[in-house]
């Protein structure tokens, strides 16, 4: 399994707590890593991914997306073995598309456009994705200019991946 929908990862109140703190941050369009409020919920989010294996938390990123923005077809950076994406505020229908086919280096993007699953990002719900193995993207956000979507992404790596480094440096 490369991806899966997760219902009720965060409550509406928890989403509102993250969002209300986030909107006070300057330059939030470029996003913000690891501010206090989403960090409060790492253990709760981590408890929802136990079925996928043993993971170590890396970071959390929150960003607001505006009308007509989109997310290019991509795979995640090397450290991010697994990502949980949660809509914390805004438009409820902006789907994340995840390929059902594992990444194949050098393959044409049409390979992924022919076999994927779309998950609507409703408030508090999430999508878990093995983002280095599954190509994923979001189509253009079609909303009024006054509307937006704020997403929080929790990134994890396999727990045993850096155990030697962790021991060496005393983490």
Residue-wise pLDDT for 30-45, tens only, equals 799 999 999 999 999 9
Domain total in the chain: 1
CA distances from 161 to 30, 47, 91 (A): 29, 19, 36
The pLDDT of 57-75, averaged and rounded, is 95
SS3 97: strand
Indicate whether 168 belongs to any domain.
Answer: no
Q: Which of 31-45, 109-123, 125-139, 155-169 has the lowest mean pLDDT?
A: 155-169
Is 170 among the domain residues? no
User: DSSP 3-state assignment of 121?
Assistant: coil
Quote the domain boundaries for residue 22: 3-159
Residue 138 lies in a domain: yes
Q: What is the CATH number of the domain that holds 40?
A: 2.60.120.620
Give which of 153, 123, 162 is closest to 60, Cα–Cα: 153
pTM: 0.91
């Amino acid at each position: 399994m490369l991806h899966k929908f997760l219902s009720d990862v965060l409550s509406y109140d928890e989403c509102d707590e993250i969002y209300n703190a986030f909107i006070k941050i300057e330059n939030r369009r470029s996003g913000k890593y690891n501010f206090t409020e989403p960090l409060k919920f790492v253990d709760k989010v981590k408890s929802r991914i136990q079925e996928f294996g043993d993971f170590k938390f890396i970071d959390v990123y929150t960003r607001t997306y505006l009308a007509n923005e989109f997310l290019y077809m991509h795979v995640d950076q090397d450290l991010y073995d697994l990502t949980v994406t949660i809509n914390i505020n805004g438009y409820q229908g902006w789907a994340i598309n995840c390929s059902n086919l594992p990444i194949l280096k050098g393959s044409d993007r049409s390979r992924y456009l022919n076999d994927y699953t779309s998950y609507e990002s409703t408030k508090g719900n999430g999508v878990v994705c093995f983002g280095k193995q599954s190509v994923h993207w979001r189509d253009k956000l079609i909303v009024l200019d006054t509307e937006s979507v704020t997403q929080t992404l929790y990134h994890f790596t396999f727990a045993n991946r850096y155990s030697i480094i962790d021991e060496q440096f005393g983490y």
